[in-house]
Amino acid sequence: MISLPAEALESAVARVFPEVQAHHVPLGRSTSEELLWRELVACILGSQVRYESCLTALRHLGSHGLLNVPLSIKSPFLLERLIEQGLKYCSCKVSPPCPQYRFPRLRANHLRRTIENIYLQGNTLRRVLASADSEIQARDLLTAYAVGLGPKQASLFLRNTGFADNLAILDRHVLNYMAILGLLRKPISHIRSVAEYEEVEARLQDYALTFSISVGVLDTAIWVVMRVASEY
């Protein structure tokens, strides 16, 4: 529960802008296919999962050679089983400890079907994204090809890889901040549709204009402040 008034939160967010800008991923689109695939896997695994659990799962799959770019796979169903087993038995050694990865079978299935949609069709992530004429279209394409990826995780992928800068990552911290600041008609705990996502995103984009910064800098600063504020 956040007890700070709206003005204090807004001021704290503004003070974080310089630090966020210093570490912000610039638009460049020079990321290799290997890193694009790894980032996409991370975003698929990260949906509805604690960050530390997702990171542990990603490292575990990487250490077992299950994050190689699947340009040529003879048995995608075997890979699916190996990923499922890897997700079942990876352990998260953080404090406080996080539980076992929540969706091993579901996410392994999502990854196998994503491989089939992209690589087994003779395509690559780079070519898919290069065909987009806008950030919104890139997100739409990504969610069409990547199974289990919604607009929030797709926006995260595009931001982390330098393909977008003005798409919002509307997690619970950002939604809570927007509710406190009166940027929403009513509080939202989760977004139910792409249309609703785009409506809320547009409100955050308009708010970003008042600071003359990108949404990428704004929602990252909000996330930092709200995560710290929620601990007090």
The catalytic residue among 152, 165, 186, 219 is 152
Asked which of 160, 185, 202 is the last residue of a domain, the reply is 160
Q: Mark whether 133 is an active-site residue.
A: no
Q: Mark whether 152 is an active-site residue.
A: yes
Q: Is 175 found in the same domain as 140?
A: no
Asked which of 134, 160, 186 is the last residue of a domain, the reply is 160
- Cα–Cα distance measured from residue 50 to residue 53, given in angstroms and rounded to the nearest whole number: 5
Q: Is 186 found in the same domain as 112?
A: no
Range of the domain at 125: 33-160
Does a structural domain hold residue 1? no
The helix/strand count (H/E) of the chain reads as: 11, 0
pLDDT of the chain along its 232 residues, tens only? 677 889 999 999 999 999 998 888 777 777 889 999 999 999 999 988 888 888 889 999 999 899 888 776 778 899 999 999 999 887 655 555 556 788 999 999 999 999 999 999 999 999 999 999 999 999 999 999 999 999 999 999 999 999 999 999 999 999 999 999 999 988 888 898 999 999 999 999 999 999 999 999 999 999 999 988 887 6
Q: Is 147 found in the same domain as 127?
A: yes
The catalytic residue among 93, 133, 171, 219 is 171
CATH code of the domain in which 93 resides: 1.10.340.30
One-character DSSP codes across 44-68: HHTTTS-HHHHHHHHHHHHHTT--S
Number of domains present in the structure of the chain: 2
Q: Is 150 found in the same domain as 129?
A: yes
